[in-house]
Amino acid sequence: MRPLDGITVITLEHAIAAPFCTRQLADMGARVIKVERPGVGDFARGYDDRVNGLASHFVWTNRSKESLTLDVKHAEAGDILDRLLGEADVLVQNLAPGAAARLGLSYEALHARYPRLIVCDISGYGSDGPYRDKKAYDLLIQSESGFLSVTGTPETPVKSGCSIADIAAGMYAYTNILGALIQRGKTGHGCRIDISMLECMTEWMSFPLYYAFEGAAPPPRAGAAHATIFPYGPFVAGDGKAVLLGVQNEREWAAFCTTVLGQGALASDARFNSNTQRVAHQAELRELITAAFAGKTSAEVIGLLEEANIANARMSEMQDVWQHAQLAARQRWTEVATPAGTVPALLPPGVAPGEPVRMDPVPALGEHTDSILASLGYSAEAIATLRAGHAI
């Protein structure tokens, strides 16, 4: 038995934050019914065509769901949604600000009829405040939350290479829904969850915020290096490949000097005998490290770092991650079906190989419309009428 077997989730979602949340609920066994626009669907379906003609974002965030096409503004949509919600445990939505309320899908409108329903609203800035109606996308929230101000090079702020603000919101929505389900088991009542992307990203910014406490200077942008610890970051070996390493304390610094650099005297050099001094003189120290690595391959440097028990990593490209030896050894890859064929998929973190986890297909647009409506009591003739009237 999977943890969320028997739980039904209705989701009016698009893009990343809500779909990532609900995919994780589906992973744990929940039945997730994804309501999509007829003929178009979640606009993330059209982001790209890199996965056998399907969009990479969509394949990642939408496995194990059922796709129901429904024009939520159609006159017949209200009855369909009522029947769906009558059997649901959770409603998730990340529509444009105010759209769910205009459709009668706010928690306030639904709670009297469905007292056990958990309603999770995901938005850029939350349900009130001066930014309530402001449009929000991942990059914009990275900027508003201060993430861009501390990420990148000294000359140029740089966004995260993945949708970090969407992912943060999706994770907090997921965990709050799990908490709400536990709470409902004790009280019998549903609740409203108001997830703000800005608040999620601001929580993740807690170290830079506190570092800049009461007007202090924020951490400088340091590229792939650590802003306040040195040496910590990428260094290029003689074969042109970067090795990332991190020296965290004075014991490691001494081992690094002796075993990796072969220059034990540097450990007590006044310029480098504390992290504060190493940060202050990092340009000089970087030259020494680069010179020591120049005659070695990246594999040789990693070997010395391992010998000295210094934390290190390769600079993996995407193809390296697909082939990563650790993921293979732990049997983290499985497969999921899609409308364009079977593709590899990573097992959800925390789930051991062989444990019950849901890895069902990525749905085609509207694939489950007829079966869902039939389960709600609609006859074949009624379904045909709805289709002819462009309701579904």
* Domain locations in the chain as residue ranges: 8-204+329-388, 232-315
Per-residue pLDDT of 273-315, as tens digits, reads: 999 999 999 999 999 999 999 999 999 999 999 999 999 999 9
Is a pLDDT exceeding 90 seen at residue 375?
yes
Per-residue pLDDT of 79-131, as tens digits, reads: 999 999 999 999 999 999 899 999 999 999 999 999 999 999 999 999 999 99
Token pair in block for residue 85: 């919600």
pLDDT in the model for residue 137: 93
Name the band, by pLDDT with cuts 50, 70 and 90, for residue 256. Answer: very high
* Contacts for 49 with CB less than 8 Å, ≥ 6 apart: 55
| C-beta separation of 194 from 126 below 8 A | yes
Is a pLDDT exceeding 90 seen at residue 202?
yes
| Long-range CB contact pairs, 232-235, < 8 A, 24+ | 234/315, 235/286, 235/289, 235/290, 235/293, 235/301
pLDDT in the model for residue 383: 97
Is a pLDDT exceeding 90 seen at residue 228?
no
CA distances from 261 to 113, 244, 266, 283, 289 (A): 70, 15, 9, 16, 7
Per-residue pLDDT of 23-47, as tens digits, reads: 999 999 999 999 999 999 999 999 9
Average pLDDT over residues 364-392: 97
The one-letter amino acid code at 160 reads: S
| Alpha-carbon gap, residue 99 to 94, rounded angstroms | 9
Average pLDDT over residues 377-384: 97
Which residues carry out catalysis? Answer: 166
Collapsing DSSP to helix, strand or coil, 327 comes out as helix
Q: Which fold has domain 8-204+329-388?
A: Rossmann fold (3.40.50)
Is a pLDDT exceeding 90 seen at residue 355?
no
What CATH number was assigned to the domain covering residues 232-315? 3.30.1540.10
Average pLDDT over residues 138-166: 95
